[in-house]
A = this chain, B = another copy of it.
Amino acid sequence: MEATISLILEIIGTIAFAISGIKLAAAKKFDWFGAYIVGLMTAIGGGTLRDILLDTTPFWMDNGWYLTVTGLSLLYVILFHRQLERIKSTILIFDTIGLALFVVIGIQKTLTFDYPMWVAIIMGTLTGAFGGVVRDILLNDVPLIFRKDIYGTACIAGGIVYWLMIVCNAEPLLQQLSCAFTVIIIRLLAVKYGWAIPVLRNND
């Protein structure tokens, strides 16, 4: 049961991440192939770097779902691109759920390799946020998460809550849910209230 819910949430997250990449690729006049690759890298880029650093097989090489779901996301955008604007807030919520779940997955997986918690928090943050960095590099833009919004920071906060729950001997499911909800709440409040991290001062 829990595994099924987790898989469904992961697919929802993959779709949301893929669509975010595909939409930005469309704005840059990419062709279908380019849009597919950008969508795919947005969805799987973070987890791939995590798995390379952990020296384990990249997760998507064991399971064709991620590539299929990205293909369906592309098809959806090709057919229904007019509706994307209307479902903007749905996409934001999907994207946030995906982000939260990716952070949890990244932390869990790293802990199974017996790394300390600080490495797990970095890997959770990478899993959630690095796909967007690859997306922006492929689009030849400055990575968005370095300049706007609370995004990477929400992942780190979620990771710290995960760690506190471990310290407090909470149930595994509670650890994961607390982490996920922290990411979701911080991210949504940040979008709603326009929270941002201070910009670095510069004297040049």
Contact = CB atoms under 8 A, between A and B. Distances in A.
A44 B200 CA distance: 21
A162 to B, nearest CB: 18
A99 to B, nearest CB: 15
A153 interface: yes
Contacts of A93: none
Contacts of A82: 203
27 contacts: A22-B200, A25-B146, A25-B200, A26-B200, A27-B202, A27-B204, A28-B147, A29-B147, A29-B199, A31-B146, A31-B196, A31-B197, A31-B198, A31-B200, A32-B198, A32-B199, A33-B152, A34-B143, A34-B147, A35-B200, A37-B146, A48-B53, A52-B52, A55-B55, A77-B200, A81-B203, A140-B141
